[in-house]
Structure 1
């Protein structure tokens, strides 16, 4: 069985669909990309492709902007969240290695 990227993280959605799902304009979506809040990939033809995770993130960003939060503050929050998530993944991986080595399970 091969390991695949979760469907929510596959970059397959066009900007037009993202616009319809989020209610944001193309310009707003591109602006959030410029501010390093989302990271679409480019197709061979140069069009942007987004994931469901990107759509969810855009909706969170839009809510925060509406509440008066600045984009640099949002970016800082996202970086901190990413660091916390990475640390948790490392802890889980290490615990799995310990469990495999010693045949123990942490409850």
Structure 2
């Protein structure tokens, strides 16, 4: 089995719409606003993952709470930067603790 089934992009937009309660148009809008990133099949069909389902529900909740798409995108970018920084710090601490070199 793959490393994480939640990351496999295998679900079509129609199924995503049923799972999330969001219209296909709204899902495509979130993609246009760079909030969700489906893969495309060779025929151009959008493919989503279970992680994308969770992400779409989170986006819809934030929108319902009055947030704008640019605010959600900014929050996600900040979260990614913090995650990258945390990973660098952890690698540095491990390298120092075990006297490792790159």
TM-score by length of 1: 0.83
Alignment of structure 1 residues 45-56 onto 2, 5 Å: 45-56=43-54
- 1:6 Cα deviation after fit: 2.4
- 1:5 Cα deviation after fit: 4.6
Distance 1:51 1:35 in 2: 18
Measured at CA, do residues 74 and 15 of structure 1 come closer, stay the same or move farther in structure 2, by a change above 3 Å? same
Name 1:82's counterpart in structure 2.
80
Aligned residues: 99
* Aligned pair partner of 1:17 in 11, 15, 18: 15
Measured at CA, do residues 41 and 91 of structure 1 come closer, stay the same or move farther in structure 2, by a change above 3 Å? same
* Aligned pair partner of 2:39 in 38, 41, 49: 41
Gaps of 5+ in 1: 103-107
1:24-82 Cα deviation digits (max 9, x unpaired): 00000000000000101101111001111111110010001111111111111111011
TM-score by length of 2: 0.86
- 1:98 Cα deviation after fit: 3.4
Distance 2:85 2:5 in 1: 23
Name 1:69's counterpart in structure 2.
67
Gaps of 5+ in 2: none
Name 1:91's counterpart in structure 2.
89
